[in-house]
Amino acid sequence: MSEKKTVLFALSTCPSCKRAKDLLTKNNIEFILVELDTLDIESRDKLLVEVKKYNPRETFPTLVVDGGKNVIVGYNEPALKQEYDIK
C-alpha cells in the first residue's frame, strides 16, 4: 500500500478517469477522488483553479501526488505503474 498522498481530479463521465480510478483501486492505492462535474458551480470553479496549478490545460484525469511532487495527466498506465511500483 502506498504512503503517498494522491488526489485524482476527474469527471464522473470520463472513461479515462474511470480507468485511472479502477487501476488505483485494484492495486489498493489510497486516493482522494474529486469528480468536478458532480460539484456545485462555485466549488467546481475553485477546484479548477487548483487543477490549473498542476495541469494548465485543465484536462482529466489529473493525478496529483504528494502535493504536486509528481503530476500525471491523462490515463498514462506506464506512469501510474511506475509511480506506485505496480507490476
Give me the mean pLDDT over the 6-29 stretch. Answer: 97
| Pairing between β-strand 32-35 and β-strand 6-10 as defined by DSSP bridges | parallel
Q: Can you give the residue ranges of every domain in the chain?
A: 6-82
CATH class of 6-82: alpha beta
pLDDT, position 3: 80
The torsion angle over the Cα atoms of residues 25, 5, 33 and 51, rounded to 10 degrees, is -130
Task: Quote the cell numbers at residue 42.
Answer: 462555485
pLDDT digits (tens, 9 = 90+) for 37-87: 999 999 999 999 999 999 999 999 999 999 999 999 999 999 999 999 998
Between CA 49 and CA 54 the distance in angstroms is 9
pTM for this predicted structure: 0.93
Give me the mean pLDDT over the 2-25 stretch. Answer: 95
Q: Helices marked H in 1-87 — which ranges? A: 15-26, 41-54, 77-83
